[in-house]
Amino acid sequence: MKLKDKIALVTGGTSGIGLETAKLFQQEGATVIVTGTQAAHLKDAAQALGNTAMALAVDLRDVAQISRAVADIVDTHGRIDVVFANAGAGKAAPLDAVTPEQITEQFSLNFNGVFFVIQKAAPHMPKGGSIVVTTSFLNEVGTPGLSILSATKAAVRSLVRSAGAELAPRGIRVNAVSPGPIETPFHSKLGLSEKQLADTGEAITSAVPLKRFGQPLEIARAALYLASDDASFVTGTELVVDGGLTQI
Ligand SMILES: NC(=O)c1ccc[n+]([C@@H]2O[C@H](COP(=O)([O-])OP(=O)(O)OC[C@H]3O[C@@H](n4cnc5c(N)ncnc54)[C@H](OP(=O)(O)O)[C@@H]3O)[C@@H](O)[C@H]2O)c1
pLDDT digits (tens, 9 = 90+) for 46-87: 999 999 999 999 999 999 999 999 999 999 999 999 999 999
- What is the average per-residue pLDDT within 136-144? 96
CA distance 216 to 134: 12
- Which atom of ligand 1 lies nearest, measured to the CA of 219? 10
Beta strands per DSSP E along the chain: 7-11, 31-36, 54-57, 82-85, 130-134, 173-179, 238-241
In the chain, the percentage of residues whose pLDDT exceeds 90 is 100
CA–CA dist 200, 189 (Å, integer): 14
pLDDT at 44: 98
Tell which one of 9, 86, 186 to mutate to probe ligand 1, the residue whose CB is within 8 A of the most ligand atoms: 186
Atom of ligand 1 nearest to the CA of 137: 6
How does residue 209 score in pLDDT terms, banded at 50, 70 and 90?
very high
Phi, psi of 137, deg, nearest 5: -60, -20
pLDDT for res 149? 98
Residue 82 near residue 25, CB atoms below 8 Å: yes
Q: Sorting pLDDT into bands at 50, 70 and 90, what band is 192?
A: very high
Contacts of the segment 62-68: beta carbons below 8 A, 24+ positions apart: 63/112, 63/116, 63/120, 66/113, 66/116, 66/117, 66/120, 67/120
CA 115–ligand 1 middle distance (angstroms): 16
Band the pLDDT of 112: cuts 50, 70, 90.
Answer: very high
CA distance 144 to 222: 28
Residue 171's pLDDT is: 98
Domains of the chain with CATH codes: 7-236 (3.40.50.720)
Q: Is 215 in the pocket of ligand 1 (CB under 6 A)?
A: no
With a 6 Å cutoff on the Cβ, whether 38 touches ligand 1 is: yes
Would you state the pLDDT for residue 108? 98
Rounded to an integer, the average pLDDT of 129-136 is: 98
Task: Please list the residues that pair with 134 across neighbouring strands.
Answer: 177
pLDDT band, very low/low/confident/very high, at 202 (cuts 50, 70, 90): very high
The average confidence (pLDDT) of the chain is 98
**Any ligand 1 atom below 6 A from CB of 14:** yes
169 CA distance to ligand 1 middle (Å): 31
